[in-house]
Amino acid sequence: MLSSVQIHDPLEPSIDTELLKELRIDGVHREDTEASGMPKWAIALVVAGALLALSSALIWWFLMGNRPVAVQTAVVQANGQGATGDAVLQATGYVTARRAATVSAQITGTLTEVLIDEGFRVKKGQVLARLDDSGLRAGLLAAEAQARASQASIVQLRAQLAQAEADAGRQTELGASGMATRQAQEQTATAVRAYAAQLDAAHRQFEVTQAQVSIARVNFDYATVRAPFDGVVTARSAQVGEIISPLSAGGGFTRTGVGTIVDMDSLEVAVDVNEAYIAQVKSDMPCEAVLDAYPDWKIPAHVVAVIPSADRGKATVKVRVALDQKDVRVLPDMGVRVSFLAARPRAQAALVPGALLPPAALAQRHGGEVVFVVHDGKAIQNAVKFGPDVGKFRLVIEGLKAGETVILSPAAELKDGSTVASKE
């Protein structure tokens, strides 16, 4: 007689049927339960307690495992960005233009052309816009015609004067021979003087008409708006068809300018220095300027002047600082930080690019040095590569960028991806 053999799939987990039978409370094995002496309600109570303990453990893990770790952070600076050793004072301010102009016409008129836009570079005398000049052109043509008429009158009077002088000469000859009366001689002499006076008046009138032509030409030229100096257009204020005027009029419907031009060569820095430290700032004092937009770029500069006036509301004194290097990256109204130096910086070798890391930010993980960078409230573990030390800082050339926030003195339980919160 052959006995039946059961073949199990090796990948299928084996099930102990005896254990399943023991877990059953009601049904087939009721007699076993009753035989054991443990009532059904006691077994249910044990199972409920186990479930409660398990749920409590899960809740504790969820709350404690996701609680943010309080950490102390610092922002990493680029190599060469920190304050120099001979800096005696630092102040913040803005880039300003010493020469900027809102260009307008000297007369009121309607714009027919606007030839500029923001960002355009213009030269001195370049045409920026044109106004409707039909009336001014007609006035110029009338003045020029009047000048030509005055010139023709001069030619006519000059001819008449010549004739009068010839008549007077003949009368004088006839009078010498007794063939002309004294009255005739006086009449011809008077005619000469009259024509001479008329010719002189015609010359004066011609000068008047020439002046009128000049006035009309100037007024006509006012219809063309030109650049007063070389610069860059930073704003376009009017469009074709609008009326512009050198004076504000028309209830706000009249523009007072075509656009704004800034001379980029006149850019400098204006900083506010606390009045308690203003005695340390001297004229022609060397400085270093760092733009907020380019924190890795140091611009050599010097003090132009200390404005002899204080702001009592802010307790500061304004200082003008000239930039020794001109660059297209420097724009008006940019934020800037100025370091006032005790002496001009000496020439030095080119700096190795990288980020200056405080040694306290280093941590040991898996036998290597790493740093934790804060990103979106998470601690991100980065492996770093070092260059030569810079003073008290470690120079990181790979794995970290200037401006990133690192965790100082990271705890041993801090891991990659941990939720963190900065200490107050």
With helix as H, strand as E and coil as C, how does 351-413 read? CCCCEEECHHHCEEECCEEEEEEEECCEEEEEECEECCCECCEEEEEECCCCCCEEEECCCCC
Q: Which residues share a beta bridge with 320?
A: 270, 305
**Extended strands (E) in 200-312:** 224-226, 231-236, 243-244, 259-262, 267-274, 286-291, 298-311
Question: Whole-angstrom Cα distance, residue 353 to residue 344?
Answer: 23
Tell me what pLDDT residue 49 has. 72
pTM beyond cutoff 0.85:
no
Task: Give pLDDT tens digits for 108-136.
Answer: 899 999 999 998 999 999 999 999 999 99
Question: Whole-angstrom Cα distance, residue 420 to residue 424?
Answer: 13
Tell me what pLDDT residue 356 has. 85
Q: 81 by DSSP, 3-state: which?
A: coil
Tell me what pLDDT residue 130 has. 94
Task: Give pLDDT tens digits for 143-196.
Answer: 999 999 999 999 999 999 999 899 888 888 888 887 878 888 888 889 999 989
The rounded mean pLDDT for the chain is: 82
Tell me what pLDDT residue 11 has. 40
In this predicted structure, the answer to whether residue 31 has a pLDDT above a threshold of 60 is no
Instruction: Please report, as a single letter, which amino acid is at residue 394.
Output: R
Q: Which two tokens stand for residue 113?
A: 């052309």
Q: In 3D, which of 79, 77, 71 has the Cα closest to residue 408?
A: 71
Between 297 and 424, whose confidence is greater?
A: 297
CA 357, distance to chain mean position in Å, is 30
Question: Whole-angstrom Cα distance, residue 203 to residue 241?
Answer: 43
Between 322 and 78, whose confidence is greater?
A: 322
Task: Give pLDDT tens digits for 329-339.
Answer: 899 999 999 99
Span 13-38, average pLDDT: 47
Burial of 60 (0-12, 13-18, 19+ CB in 10 A): exposed
In this predicted structure, the answer to whether residue 262 has a pLDDT above a threshold of 60 is yes
| Residue 341 CA: distances (Å) to CA of 87, 95, 298, 301 | 4, 19, 13, 10
